[in-house]
Amino acid sequence: MSDLNKMTIADARDALRAGDVTSVQLTEACLTAIEGAGALNAFVHHTPEIALERATAADARITSGDAPAMCGIPLGIKDLFCTQGVASQAASRILEGFRPEYESTVSAQLRDAGAVMLGKLNMDEFAMGSSNETSVYGNVVNPWKVDSRDLTPGGSSGGSAAAVAADLCLAATGTDTGGSIRQPAAFTGTVGIKPTYGRCSRWGVVAFASSLDQAGPMTKTVRDAAIMLEAMCGHDPKDSTSADLPVPDFEAMLTGDIRGQKIGIPREYHMDGMSAEIAELWGKGADMLRDAGAEIVDISLPHTKYALPAYYVIAPAEASSNLARYDGVRYGHRATLGPGDGITQMYEKTRAEGFGLEVQRRVMIGTYVLSAGFYDAYYNRARKVRTLIKRDFEEVFGKGVDAILTPATPSAAFGLGEMAAADPVEMYLNDVFTVTVNLAGLPGVALPAGLDSKGLPLGLQLIGRPWEEGALLNTAHVLEQATGFVSKPEKWW
Amino acid sequence: MSEIDLETARKVAHLARIAVPEDNLPALAQELSQILTFMEELNEVDVEGVEPMTSVTPMRLKRRKDGVTDGDMQAKILSNAPDAREGFFAVPKVVE
C-alpha cells in the first residue's frame, strides 16, 4: 500500500484491524512526509521516538483484538496541549524550554486509546491570531498555493490545518476560542469541529479565554471528525466546567438521513462586502440540504453584529487574567536582570521579552477593560450582550430549528504578510461568522464545500444545538456527500 | 472615538506588568484607542435588565470533599523553574 499518510482515520482503522497495514507503517509514512515538509513549518517539535514506540504498542494491542478506533492512528498535537516530557510552549517565547510533568486530559485520552503522537504543531502565540503569523516559531504556510504567494493556513490552529491538508498526519488536535479550528479548516479544505462548551476537558490545555476555549479534532472527513471527537470527549473531574454527560457513538449517528430537519439561514450573516463566490456557495449548500429532504427556513439572530466587539472585550479580559501566571518564576523564560532590578522589573522585563506584540496588545486591552472605572462600561456590558447573543440562538432552536448553515469565513485564504499594514480590528473580522458560536457555547463544524475561481478551498459552517454534535455531524456528513469535495493541494513543498 | 492618552497607556502597561519603552507608547496608545472604539459599538445595544453571563452552559458546579488529593511532587513542580534553590522558587529580593 502506498501513500499511507494520505489515509483517513476510518480507512486506516479498518485496514489496521484487517491486518492489511501496521501502525508502524502508517507512522513511518507520516514521519517521512513530515521530514519532507519543512517548508510548511507545521510541525515544530518532532517526537519520532515516542511515535514509533506508541505505534509498536498499538500494533500489539490491535493484534490482541482489544483496540479502540483511534488505536494506531498517527496524529499531530497542537502546541497548546501540555504533553508530558515534550516541549509545550503555546508558540510563545515565554514558555521556551517548558516541558510539562503532566499530560492534558484530551491528549491523554487519545494516547490511552492507542493514538500515536507524531509531534507538536505550530499555531498562533497563545492561540491569539487568525493567520498563524504571531508564532514564535514563524509562520505556517498553507499547502494550498495558486500563484507565487505563500498563503496563510488561518489560525490559530494553522499548523494543525496545514498538517492535515498536506497529509503529514491522519488528523490533528485543535482548539477554538473564536474560530481557531473552523477558520483554518475552511482555509485548507479540511474538516474541523468545535464541540459544545464543556464536552472536552480543558485541563492541561494552555488557557487563553476559559469561558470560550474548547478543543476539537481537525480531520480529512466528517466521519473522521466523529471518530476522533468521541475519543476526545468526556467528563473530567479536573475541569469544573466539564460536562458530566454520556458521550454518544458519534460515528453511528452518521445515518445520512436528514429528512424533516429544519435548517436555518440567518439573514444577519449576509454581510456587506461578502464575496459573491461565498454567497453563491452558501446558497448552493442550502439547496443541497433541501434536496436531501431538509426544510430550509430564514431565521434572524439580531445581535450578530455585536458578537465581535463583545468577544474582543471578553476574550482579552480572560486572557489578561490567565496570562498573569507567566511571571518568570515557576516556568518558562525569565529576563536577565540589571543591577538593582527588583521583582517588579523582573515581571515587566520577562513579559515584555516573552510575549509577542499581539499577545501584549490583548493582555493590555484586557487589563484596561477590567480596571477600576471601566469594568461596568466594557466588561459587564459585553457579558450582557453575550447573554443576548445566546438568547438569539435559544429562540431559534426553540422554534424547532435543528441546525444553522452559514459561511465559515468571509474570504478564502489570504497571503502571508498581506494584513501586516492593517489595523488589528481588520484581522479580527476573520472571526465574524465563527465567534458567535463560542459566545453561545454551541457546537460548530466547518467543512470544505468548493473551490473559488482561483482554486482555493471555501468552507461552510453548520451550527448545532447544545450537546447535539452527533446530529450536527450527520448534517455535515450529508452536505459533504452532496458537495463531493475531494480536492487536495498539489504538492510543491 | 475613545482616546487613550500616553499616561493611560503607560498605566495599563504597568498594571499588565509589561515593560513598554517610552518611544513605543504613542503607537500603543493609538492601537488601544482603535480597539476600544470598535468595542464601543456595544453601546448601541439595549442591555436594560439583562443579566451578565456567568456560565455559558447551565450547569451546577460539582462539589467534592475539601481534602488533599495529591502531593509529594516538589521535584516535579520545581523542574521547570528558571531558578530553583533548596526546594524553593528563587526570585530577586522582594523586601529591603
Span A142-164, mean pLDDT?
97
List the single residue in B with minimal CA-CA distance to A380: B52
Indicate which residue of A156, A157, A242, A320 is catalytic.
A156
Q: Using one digit for the tens of pLDDT, what is the confidence trace for A276-289?
A: 999 999 999 999 99
Chain A contacts of B82, Cβ < 8 Å?
Answer: 328-329, 331-334
Q: Is residue B1's pLDDT more than 60?
A: no
pLDDT band at A445 (very low <50, low <70, confident <90, very high): very high
Q: What is the pLDDT of residue A354?
A: 98
Nearest CA distance, A353 vs chain B (angstrom): 9
Lookup: cell for A248? 454518544
Average pLDDT over residues A359-371: 96
Residue range A249-265, pLDDT digits in tens: 999 999 999 999 999 99
Closest-CA residue of B relative to A241 is B61
- All structural domains of chain B with their residue ranges: 4-42
Under 8 Å CB pairs connecting chains A and B tally to: 170
The per-residue pLDDT for range A106-152, each reduced to its tens digit, is 999 999 999 999 999 999 999 999 999 999 999 999 999 999 999 99
Query: What pLDDT is recorded for position B62?
Result: 84
Span A294-333, pLDDT tens digits: 999 999 999 999 999 999 999 999 999 999 999 999 999 9
Q: What is the pLDDT of residues B39-85, one digit of tens each?
A: 999 999 999 999 999 999 888 888 889 999 899 999 999 999 999 99
pLDDT attached to residue A195: 98
Name residue A136's amino acid: V
Q: Are A442 and A223 in contact (CB under 8 A)?
A: no
| Dihedral of the alpha carbons of A126, A127, A133, A136, in degrees to the nearest 10 | 30
| Residue A417 CA: distances (Å) to CA of A24, B33, B68 | 39, 23, 51
pTM over 0.95: yes
Tens-digit pLDDT profile for residues B80-96: 999 999 999 999 988 76
> Cβ of A293: how many Cβ atoms within 10 Å?
12
* pLDDT recorded at residue A384: 98
pLDDT in tens, A462-490: 999 999 999 999 999 999 999 999 999 99
Return the DSSP state at B51. Answer: P
Mutate to test the interface with B, among A384, A425, A439, A468 (most CBs of B within 10 A): A384
Buried b (16+ CB within 10 A) or exposed e, A442-460: bbbbbbbbbbbeeebbbbb
- Give the mean model confidence (pLDDT) for residues B1-9: 85
Give pLDDT tens digits for A10-20.
Answer: 999 999 999 99
Tens digit of each residue's pLDDT (9 = 90 or more) over A343-361: 999 999 999 999 999 999 9
Tell whether A312 lies on the interface with B, counting CB pairs under 8 A.
yes
